[in-house]
Amino acid sequence: MTDPTFFEALRWASIFLKQHQQEDAGRFLLLERQNWTNTQLLMRYREPMPSAMWRQFQSDVQRMAQNEPAQYIIGHAPFYGHEFKVTPATLIPRPETEELVEWALNELPAQPLKVLDLGTGSGAIAISLKLAQPQWQVWASDISAAALAVATENAQQLGADIKFQQSDVFAALQAEQFDVIVSNPPYIAPSERSVMDASVLAHEPATALFAAEAGLAIYRRILTGLPQHLRASGQFFGEFGYQQRPALTKLAAQLLPDSQVAFRQDLAGHERMLQLKF
């Protein structure tokens, strides 16, 4: 195809992606790549697409046809009103995790606190909390050095002063205590691979997705370490799988019998978040 108009290019993308059983995300790819609004694109509909842009657009669409997530193709994803760099070293931030951030911000006092985002990935939780409450001292940890490099870049880009620490759960945080710990840890059981989206399995980091013990191995380590790493009257907020409430209730009762446990549903009506108070 010679250089098409923008309208023709979008029509080509729609047909091509449909042939590959993918959603029609051509408009999203183009808008995000060019940082345009829908109106800005509509104004160009009948204009020829510049050759360099057409080549880039074809490459983006072909990558998506191979199950690569659009956020990795573009290189960023929105979260809690900010844009975060994402790479295959980090999970793509999801709306459910925005709800976790919102719950924590609504529950916690607007006073200086020491907060840890455990398993930070792209830094989305830690940076969003810090930008919303600048007086908080926010730490962010992850087992992955590559993820921490992305999170550090995001913090610098968004102007968030975060203390980063490479750590396997609490292993490198032995001397630290926090008022609040927030986490979206790996919680998917390996047995659930067969029902997961192919693009997630192919491109997102398995270490940030899966955990042994039916998805609860990392949660067991976190809950075991909370008494040592939470200050008196501290709180924990965590995200979990929509079928895991019974198992987490039992685990919290076994490991933290003196804690108060609360659960919250996501916007889809699934119980996906818990709060522990001490």
Annotated binding site: 119-123, 142, 184-187
List residues forming the annotated binding site for S-adenosyl-L-methionine. Answer: 119-123, 142, 184
| 3-state DSSP assignment of residue 116 | strand
**Which H or E run contains 232?**
strand 230-239
- Do 128 and 101 contact (CB within 8 A), yes or no? yes
List residues forming the annotated binding site for substrate. Answer: 184-187
Strand 260-265 to strand 271-277: parallel, antiparallel, or no bridges (unpaired)? antiparallel
The token pair at 214 is 């039916």
Q: What are phi and psi of 152, to 5 degrees?
A: -65, -40
Neighbour-count burial of 180, counting CB atoms closer than 10 A to its CB (0-12 exposed, 13-18 middle, 19+ buried):
buried
Q: Which residues touch 276 (CB under 8 Å, ≥6 apart)?
A: 223, 226, 235, 236, 238, 252, 256, 259, 260, 261
